[in-house]
C-alpha cells in the first residue's frame, strides 16, 4: 500500500525530493503539533497519513506554507502579549 501511495504522491508534487520534505513536515504537524488529519486515520502512522493526504490532493506545498505562516503568526502574537 505504501509504495502505491508514494508513486501517486510523487505525481501530485512533481519530484520525490519535494515529496519527502512536504510529507515529513505534514507528518510532524500531525504528530507533534496536534493538527487534525484531513483523512480517517485507519491505524496508519503519521508518515503514511501525510502521504495519503498528498496523494488525494488535500496537502501540497502552498497549503503547507499557509499552515506554517499561521502557526508563526500565532506564536509571534503570543510573544507580544507576554511582554
Query: How do residues 51-75 score in pLDDT, each as one tens digit?
Result: 999 999 999 988 888 877 777 777 7
Question: Which domains does the chain show, CATH number per domain?
Answer: 2-82 (3.90.940.10)
Query: How do residues 11-42 score in pLDDT, each as one tens digit?
Result: 999 999 999 999 999 999 889 877 888 888 88
* pLDDT recorded at residue 42: 84
Contact between 17 and 25 (Cβ < 8 Å): no
Q: Looking at residues 70-81, what average pLDDT do you find?
A: 73
For 42, what's the count of Cα atoms within 13 Å in the CB-facing half-sphere?
10
- Dmax over CA atoms of the chain, in Å, equals 50
Amino acid at each position: 500500500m505504501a509504495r502505491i501511495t508514494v508513486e501517486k504522491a510523487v505525481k501530485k508534487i512533481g519530484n520525490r525530493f519535494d515529496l519527502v520534505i512536504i510529507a515529513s513536515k505534514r507528518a510532524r504537524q500531525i504528530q507533534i503539533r496536534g493538527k487534525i488529519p484531513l483523512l480517517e486515520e485507519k491505524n496508519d502512522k503519521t508518515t503514511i497519513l501525510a502521504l495519503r493526504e498528498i496523494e488525494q490532493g488535500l496537502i501540497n506545498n502552498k497549503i503547507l506554507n499557509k499552515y506554517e505562516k499561521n502557526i508563526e503568526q500565532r506564536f509571534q502574537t503570543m510573544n507580544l502579549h507576554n511582554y
